[in-house]
Structure 1
Amino acid sequence: MSTIRYRWLAVIAVAAGVVGWAVNSFLSENGYPAPVLSPAALLAIVVVVAVTLVLGLRVRRWRNGSRDRTLNPIAAARTVVLAQAITYAGSLLLGWHAAVFLALLPLLSLRPGHAPTWTALAVGIGGMVMIAAGLTVERFCKLPPDDKDGTGSAPGTEDGEEYA
């Protein structure tokens, strides 16, 4: 399994931003509300990030030597996949909502209490939190280069991209 490529995160964020800007422009010109997630999405972001961090900390604890119980390799692989998924989802949310926020920002002086403007900002920040949590948990799940099988006896890998 390969690590997350930062370039792809940037491509996803920029593409989502361009699409978000275009959709927001079209909808606002035709009298529709801004295309942002509801504030309830923030609760979902917090829950997903918390679950991912808890699972990642469990893998990190095992990786750092607390091996009183065996770690299910499928659970560790699922943790890495979850971490990568929330990283990509966070990039998508960040791009879309940052573009919508920037499109709504000039109208802030006309309608200072406009809820979609602040919701777009909050969900964009939530996307950044998802990216940070995903990258952190992905790092938690990496085995050190000299510990490929988790026992400390295997020879190292060249690229250090082995997961627990």
Structure 2
Amino acid sequence: MSTIRPLWLLLICLGSALLGWIAQVALTGNGYTSPVLQWPSLITMLAGMAITFGFGMRVRRYTQGKLKSRLDPLQAARTLVLAQATAYAGSLIAGWHAGILLDLVRGAGLGNQVVISSLVMIVASLVMVIVGWVVEQFCKLPPDDPSAPGSRDRNREEDEGYAAGTN
């Protein structure tokens, strides 16, 4: 599985910023409200980040050899996918709100409630990207060096049997 690519995060952010700006101009020009996420979305984003980080900490404890029970490889793979999805979603949401903010700041000023909501969502989204990247780092396998942390408690034959499903 490939790792998070910062260039892709940047391209997603820029693309969604363009789409957010177009949506903002089109909707507000026709009398609709700005398409920003509301405050309850922040709670959902924070809960998603907490869950992602919690799963990531379990994987990290396993790779460091601090987890007494075995970690299902499928759970570790799902945690990695969740971390990457969190980072990409954060990039998408940050770009969308940055595009909206580009149009709002020149007309509404910094004291507007929609501007404040956009800024809060951008900051929370950037935290999502960071959490996703950190959890992805937690999911990296330790080196094959027997003296490396986390590999001292595991027997290679046990790992091979476990991965093959014979245990």
Shorter-chain TM-score tier:
0.7 to 0.9
Q: Does 1:76 pair with 2:76?
A: yes
Match of residue 123, structure 1, among 113, 121, 124: 121
Aligned residues: 151
Relative distance call for 1:32 and 1:136 in structure 2 (3 A) is same
Normalization by structure 2: what TM-score? 0.84
Q: Determine which structure has the larger helix proportion and give its number.
A: 2
Cα displacement (A) at 1:29: 1.2
Counterparts of 1:127 and 1:22, CA distance in 2: 20
Aligned-pair CA distance for 1:152:
7.1
Identity of aligned residues (%): 42
Q: Aligned residue for 1:6?
A: 6
Question: 8 Å contact 1:52–1:137 — kept in the other structure?
Answer: yes
Q: Who is 1:99 aligned against? A: 99
Q: Pick from 118, 127, 139: which aligns with 1:141?
A: 139
Residue by residue over 1:75-106, the C-alpha shift from the partner in whole angstroms, topping out at 9 and shown as x without a partner, is: 11110000000111000001000111121112
The structure that has the greater radius of gyration is 2
Deviation beyond 2 Å, 4+ runs, structure 1: 144-148, 150-154
- Report the RMSD for the aligned CA atoms in angstroms: 1.9
Q: Which residue of 2 aligns with 1:61?
A: 61
Shift of 1:107: 2.4
1:33 and 2:41 aligned: no
Per the alignment, do residues 152 and 145 of structure 1 end up closer, same or farther by CA in structure 2, a change over 3 Å counting?
A: farther
Deviations 1:120-162 (A, max 9, x none): 11111111010000000000000123269x94759xxxxxxxx
CA apart distance, 1:114: 2.5
Q: Deviations over 1:55-76 (max 9, x none)?
A: 1001001101114210011111
Structure 1 stretches lacking a partner, 5+ long? 155-164
CA distance in 1, matches of 2:46, 2:96: 18
Tell me the equivalent position of 2:89. Answer: 89
Distance 1:115 1:134 in 2: 28
Q: Which runs of 5+ in 2 are unaligned?
A: 146-150, 158-167
Partner of 2:112: 114
TM-score scaled to structure 1, two decimals? 0.85
